[in-house]
């Protein structure tokens, strides 16, 4: 009887070990990139500017004229204007070369202000990311023109 219990216990421990390895050790770089973007998305919905900015590189520059510092104040001031914010990224494609990646996606946003007015926007974007100290950070963003390739 003890032998059966020990075998079952060993199988359970092995199963947990495989789960942990698969979830935390054998994660692809593409999955790490997606995780960074999901953290950015979730932090905007929570109106958590500091967590959002942790996904942004200090080297950030974009086609809209923002740098890391100006983006921080823009996001903070914009989120203050709305009671509720929903952000959704879809149709994501990732091209990665070493410690740099290019991500194309469709971004949808919906926000409700204090008067109850809803604002909706959707556009196609392209962003560049860079791996810094083991973490993927956003370094550049622009609107992406539609093209047939």
pLDDT in tens, 35-54: 999 999 999 999 999 999 99
CA gap 65, 136 in Å, rounded? 22
Q: How would you classify the pairing of strands 118-132 and 135-143?
A: antiparallel
Give the distance from CA 37 to its chain's centroid: 1
Answer for the pair 66, 60: CB distance below 8 angstroms, yes or no.
yes
> What's the pTM?
0.79
Domain boundaries, the chain: 28-143
Residues of the chain with pLDDT under 70: 6, 8-10, 15-25, 146-149
CA gap 16, 11 in Å, rounded? 9
- Per DSSP, 64 falls in state T
Which string of b and e fits 115-138 if b means at least 16 CB within 10 Å?
eeeeeeeeeeebbbbbbeeeebbb
pLDDT for res 4 = 74
CA distances from 1 to 6, 7, 28 (A): 9, 10, 42
pLDDT for res 13 = 79
pLDDT for res 72 = 97
CATH class of segment(s) 28-143: alpha beta
CA gap 24, 20 in Å, rounded? 6
């Amino acid at each position: 009887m003890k032998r059966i219990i020990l075998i079952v216990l060993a199988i359970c421990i092995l199963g947990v070990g495989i789960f942990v390895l698969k979830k935390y050790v054998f994660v692809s770089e593409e999955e790490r990139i997606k995780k960074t973007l999901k953290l950015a998305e979730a932090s905007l919905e929570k109106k958590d500017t500091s967590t959002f900015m942790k996904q942004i590189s200090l080297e950030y520059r974009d086609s809209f004229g923002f740098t890391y510092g100006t983006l921080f104040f823009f996001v903070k001031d914009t989120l203050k204007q709305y009671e509720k914010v929903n952000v959704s990224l879809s149709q994501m494609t990732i091209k990665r070369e070493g410690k740099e990646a290019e991500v194309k996606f469709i971004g949808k946003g919906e926000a409700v202000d204090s008067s109850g007015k809803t604002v909706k926007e959707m556009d196609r974007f392209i962003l560049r990311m860079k791996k810094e100290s083991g973490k993927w950070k956003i370094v550049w963003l622009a609107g992406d023109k539609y093209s047939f390739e």
